[in-house]
Structure 1
Amino acid sequence: MAIERTSAQDTNPQPVPKEQVADGVEDPQLDEEKLKQFFIGSIDQGTTSTRFIIFDGLGEPVAQHQIEFTQKYPQSGWHEHDPKEIISSVEQCIERATSIFVDLEHNVSDIKAVGITNQRETTVVWDTNTGEPLYNAIAWPDTRTKGMVRELKLRDGADKLQDLCGLPLSTYPSSVKLLWLLDHVDAVKQAYEDGRLSFGTIDTWILYNLNGGKKNNVFVTDSTNASRTMFMNLHTVQYDDKLLGFFGLDRKKINLPKIVPSSSPDAFGAIQSGDLKGIRIAGCLGDQSSALVGQQGFTPGAAKNTYGTGCFLLYNVGEKPVISTHGLLATIAYDFGGNRKPVYALEGSIAVAGSGVKFLMKNMGFITHSHKISDLAASVQDNGGCVFVTAFSGLFAPYWIDDAKGTIFGITQFTERGHIARATLEATCFQTKAILDAMELDSGHKLNMLAVDGGMSNSNLCMQTQANIIGIPVDRPAMRETTALGAAIAAGFAVDVWKEFDELKGINQKDRVIFEPNISKDESEKMFKKWGRAVEMCRGWLDADEQNGEFS
Structure 2
Amino acid sequence: MANFILAIDQGTTGSTVALMDSSGKLCASVNHEFPQLYPKPGWVEHRPADIWKSVLKGVRGIMRKGVCKPTDIAAIGITNQRETALLWDRHSGEPLNNAVVWQCRRTTDFCEQLKSEGHEKVVRRKTGLVLDPYFSASKYRWLLNNTSGLSRLRRAGRVAAGTVDSYLIWQLTAGETHVTDVSNASRTSLMNLKARRWDRQLLDLFQVPEDILPQISASSAVLGHTRNVPGLPDGIPIAGVAGDQQAALFGQACFSQGEAKCTFGTGSFILMNTGSDLLQSRSGLLSTVAWQLGEKAEPVYALEGGAFVCGAAVQWLRDGLQLIKRAPEIESLAGSVTDHAGVEFVPALTGLGAPHWAPEARGTLTGLTRGTERGHIARATLDAMALQNADILRAMEADLGKRMKPLRVDGGAAANNLLMQIQADVLGRKLIRPQVIETTVAGACYLAGLGIGLWQSPAEVRRIWQAEREYAVQMNSSTRRKRMDSWNCAVQRTLL
TM-score interval, normalised by the smaller of the two chains: over 0.9
Distance in structure 2 (CA, Å) of the matches to 1:132 and 1:362: 40
Q: What amino acid is aligned across from residue 458 of structure 1 in structure 2?
A: A
TM-score normalised over the length of structure 1: 0.87
One-letter code aligned to 1:472: R
- Superposed CA offset, 1:261-312 (max 9, x none): 00113x2322532222222211101000000000001000000000010011
Q: Is the 8 Å Cα contact of residues 300 and 445 (structure 1) preserved in structure 2?
A: no
Q: Give the match for residue 487 of structure 1.
A: 444
In the alignment, structure 1 residue 165 sits paired with structure 2 residue 127: yes
Equivalence map 1:105-144=2 (5 Å): 106-144=68-106
Match of 1:371 in 2: 328
SS in structure 2 at match of 1:153:
helix
* Equivalent in the alignment of 1:42: 7
User: Using the alignment, how far apart are the partners of 1:444 and 1:271 within structure 2?
Assistant: 48
Aligned residue among 296, 312, 321 for 2:278:
321
Letter in 1 for 2:290: A
CA deviation profile, 1:327-379 (whole Å, cap 9, x unmatched): 01110011111542110000001000011010011111111211121111111
The residue number in structure 1 matching 2:405 is 448
The amino acid of 1:86's aligned partner reads I
Separation in 2, partners of 1:483, 1:357: 23
**What CA RMSD, in Å, does the superposition of the two structures yield over aligned residues?**
1.6
5+ residue gaps, structure 1, are 1-33, 541-552
The aligned residue for residue 244 of structure 1 is 203
Alpha carbons of 1:318 and 1:57: their partners in 2 closer, same or farther (altered >3 Å)?
same
Which of 109, 124, 131 is equivalent to 1:147? Answer: 109
- Specify the code of the residue in structure 2 equivalent to 1:380: V
Q: Do the aligned partners of 2:160 and 2:213 also contact (CA within 8 Å) in 1?
A: yes
Partner of 1:517: 473
TM-score by length of 2: 0.97
1:99-131 C-alpha deviation (Å, 9 max, x unpaired): 20x2x4x33332211100000000001122332
Aligned to 1:224: 183
Whole-angstrom CA distance in 2 between matches of 1:187 and 1:229 = 25
1:199-226 alpha-carbon deviations (Å, 9 max, x no partner): 100000000001113xx3x100000000
Q: Which residue of 1 aligns with 2:145?
A: 183
Mapping of residues 83-94 of structure 1, within 5 Å: 83-94=48-59
Residue 157 of structure 1 deviates from its aligned partner by 3.5
Offset of 1:148 from its aligned partner? 1.3
Structure 2 counterpart of 1:108, which letter?
Answer: P
Report the Cα distance in structure 1 between the residues aligned to 2:359 and 2:155, rounded to whole angstroms. 38
- Given that 1:305 and 1:452 are in contact with CA atoms closer than 8 Å, whether structure 2 keeps it comes out as yes
Q: Distance in 2 between matches of 1:507 and 1:432?
A: 28
- Would you say the 8 A contact 1:271–1:280 is kept in 2? no
Provide the C-alpha distance between the structure 1 equivalents of 2:442 and 2:135, rounded to a whole number of angstroms: 25
Deviation at 1:193, TM superposition (A): 5.5
**Aligned match of 2:305 in 342, 348, 353?**
348
CA contact (8 A) 2:245 2:269 kept: yes
User: Given that residues 64 and 97 in structure 1 are in contact (C-alpha distance below 8 angstroms), is that contact kept between their aligned partners in structure 2?
Assistant: yes
Q: 1:472 aligns with which of 429, 448, 454?
A: 429
C-alpha contact (below 8 Å) 1:271/1:281 kept by paired residues: no
CA distance in 1, matches of 2:136, 2:179: 16
Contact kept, 8 Å, 1:313 with 1:349, in 2: the verdict is yes
**What is the deviation of 1:196?**
3.0
Deviates more, 1:333-342 or 1:279-288: 333-342
SS in 2 for 1:284: strand
State the 1:478 CA deviation: 2.4
- Is this contact kept in 1: 2:8–2:441, CA < 8 A? yes
Asked if structure 1 preserves the Cα contact closer than 8 Å seen for 2:10 and 2:81, the reply is yes
Aligned with residue 533 of structure 1, among 484, 489, 495: 489
Please state how far the C-alpha of 1:132 moved relative to its aligned partner.
1.4
CA gap of 1:515–1:188, structure 2 versus 1, over 3 A, is farther
Does the CA contact (< 8 Å) of 2:425 and 2:480 recur in 1?
A: yes
Decide whether aligned partners of structure 1 residues 88 and 233 sit closer, same or farther in structure 2, where only a CA change above 3 A counts. same
Does the residue aligned with 1:199 lie in a helix, a strand or coil? strand
Q: Secondary structure of the equivalent of 2:436?
A: coil
Matched position secondary structure for 1:488: helix
Structure 1: how far apart are the matches of 2:494 and 2:340?
19
Q: Aligned to 1:52, which of 5, 11, 17?
A: 17
CA distance in 2, matches of 1:386, 1:156: 41
Percent identity, please.
40
Q: Deviation per CA, 1:146-173, whole angstroms, max 9, x where unpaired?
A: 1111111123543211111111110111
5 Å-filtered alignment, 1:270-309, equals 270-278=226-234, 279-309=236-266
Answer whether contact 1:58 1:508 (CA < 8 A) is retained.
no
CA distance 1:524–1:189, shift in 2 (3 Å): farther
Q: 1:524 to 1:270 in 2, by over 3 A?
A: same
- The count of aligned residue pairs is 495
Rounded to whole Å, the distance in 1 between the matches of 2:247 and 2:224 is 16
- In structure 2, runs of 5+ residues without a counterpart are none
Partners of 1:326 and 1:442 within 8 A in 2: yes
The residue type paired with residue 71 of structure 2 is S
**Judging changes above 3 Å, is the alpha-carbon distance between structure 1 residues 60 and 127 closer, same or farther for their aligned structure 2 residues?**
same
Deviation (angstroms), 1:58: 2.6
8 Å Cα contact 2:239/2:451 also seen in 1: yes
In 2: Cα distance, 1:56 partner to 1:458 partner: 25
1:210 and 1:419 mapped to 2: Cα distance?
A: 51
How far apart are the structure 2 equivalents of 1:142 and 1:393?
Answer: 14
Post-superposition offset of 1:76: 0.7
Whether the 8 Å contact between 1:472 and 1:516 is mirrored in structure 2 is: yes
